[in-house]
Amino acid sequence: MEAIVLAGGLGTRLQSVISEIPKPMAPIDDQPFLFYILKWLEKNGIKKVILSVGYKWEIIYNKFGEHFNSIELVYSIEDLPLGTGGAISLAMKKLKDDKFFIINGDTLFDINLNDLLDYHLIGAYDFSIVLKPMINFDRYGSVEMDENNRIIRFNEKLPRKNGLINGGIYLANYSINKYFPSIEKFSFENDFMEKMVNQLSFGGIVKDNYFIDIGIPEDYKRAQLELPKL
């Protein structure tokens, strides 16, 4: 199957430790963070990755070119920032499959993608999300499900003792693009997921596997110690 990797982030909150490179290119033990994502995708049998890029995308291309080992790399280039939704919509034009994964380029959630695929197919969902249990958090919004593991609500960021967060891995049917806003620039999370959660069939699969988000300096430093050991 194919995967879209959102690799256009600027890394604003990481400016104190990295600068002048796309966030997924933040170095971890002499390799960019994106290297570890691609390595994980290869382990999961992905053969084609559409890299959704924008800010200084040439740095990514010069590092990886058009292949990462057995993975074909295709570049979907934003001339102007389109938001996460616009970036995904643009990248979808390069897909060939009717189902595809979407992966955040600044998080690594070490799950087995076949588990997500089986769950998505058995439940006949339009859109499925991998959820991560977390305790004592305020950095992420939480996700609520009903008794049938169907997602029913996305909550705003608030201090919480425990809950489920969006793990940044999705499996989508191509037909979701019919429900995108008509505008070119939009947020995938706010303008699609939050608005369509009760109109489409959204599935949630809970996994408590290793998870790292390099969006803030503290976790970026933690990644330096943990990722090379995976």
Helix (H) or strand (E) holding 119: helix 113-123
CA 211/CA 101 separation, integer angstroms: 17
CATH of 2-229, one of 3.90.550.10, 2.60.40.770, 1.10.3720.10, 3.30.930.10: 3.90.550.10
CA 207/CA 25 separation, integer angstroms: 26
Task: Locate the domains of the chain by residue range.
Answer: 2-229
Predicted local distance difference test score (pLDDT) of residue 13: 66
pLDDT tens, the chain, 230 aa long: 999 999 997 766 676 677 788 999 999 999 999 999 999 999 999 999 999 999 999 999 999 999 999 999 999 999 999 999 999 999 999 999 999 999 999 999 999 999 999 999 999 999 999 999 999 999 999 999 999 999 999 999 999 999 999 999 999 999 999 999 999 999 999 999 999 999 999 999 999 999 999 988 899 999 999 999 88
Single out the residue of 137, 143, 162, 134 nearest to residue 205, CA to CA: 143
